[in-house]
Amino acid sequence: MYPLFPGGFYSVSFYLLCMPDNYGDELMKDIILNTYGLAIEDLARFIMIPYSSDNSLRWENIIFFSFGVFSIWFHYAIMLYCGFKMHFNMKQELKKFSASHRRLQKQFFYALVAQSLGPTFLLVLPVAPILIAPLLSPHLKLEFSWQTGWLYSIVGLYPPFDSISFILIVSEYKRVVKKQFCFMYTVKKDKNLQQFSVTL
């Protein structure tokens, strides 16, 4: 239920603060036409341009950008707080358990840490330059024009990363996966031997 609130808040602010206007359409018209061969008027679009032609701030777009940054860092703060709290609580509680149980619980904790790093490297860091570049371009006297289709490929890596991190870190999962692969390999080998013996 909770993800609906930040998701809804972000979507509503996106809709209200990034609606297309004449300035944005004029600025992007040639880029869209040259890059994609499409007229901007025919496209559904939301455009975030932080500066006007005189380098003054376009406050609606800046407010939207601030909402996005705040939302990301707020959730990172929650993750860090919960992670540290869990780590210190676990340290105390694990003293009561056996060595093997302690090892397993530590592996679960490391897997959770890896899972929280996944979105950082596969979602946040690839997007950061794309979001920051328009803010810096007038100060650096540079123009940025990036096609972001590659970004969706990186986003697609996140769901398998989530599962693979658990499989590689938690020994119980690793053992089950190894056993499954060995079983599949053995069955395949047996079938090949049977076929070979039949042909002989």
Residue 194 scores a pLDDT above 70: no
Distance CA 5, CA 175 (A): 39
Q: What is the count of structural domains for the chain?
A: 1
Instruction: State yes or no: pLDDT of 187 exceeds 70.
Output: no
For residue 52, tell me if it sits in a domain. Answer: yes
Residue 9 belongs to what domain range?
1-71
Q: Which of 26, 33, 70 is nearest to 47 (CA)?
A: 26
pLDDT for 2-42, tens place per residue?
A: 778 888 888 888 889 988 899 989 988 988 898 888 999 88
pLDDT value at residue 198: 47
The model carries a pTM of 0.68
Quick check: is 118 in a domain? Answer: no
Look up residue 166 and give its amino acid. F
Does some domain include residue 24? yes
**What pLDDT shows up at residue 59?**
92
Residue 48 included in any domain? yes
CA distance 27 to 20: 11
Strand ranges (E), 28-112? none
User: What average pLDDT does the chain have?
Assistant: 80
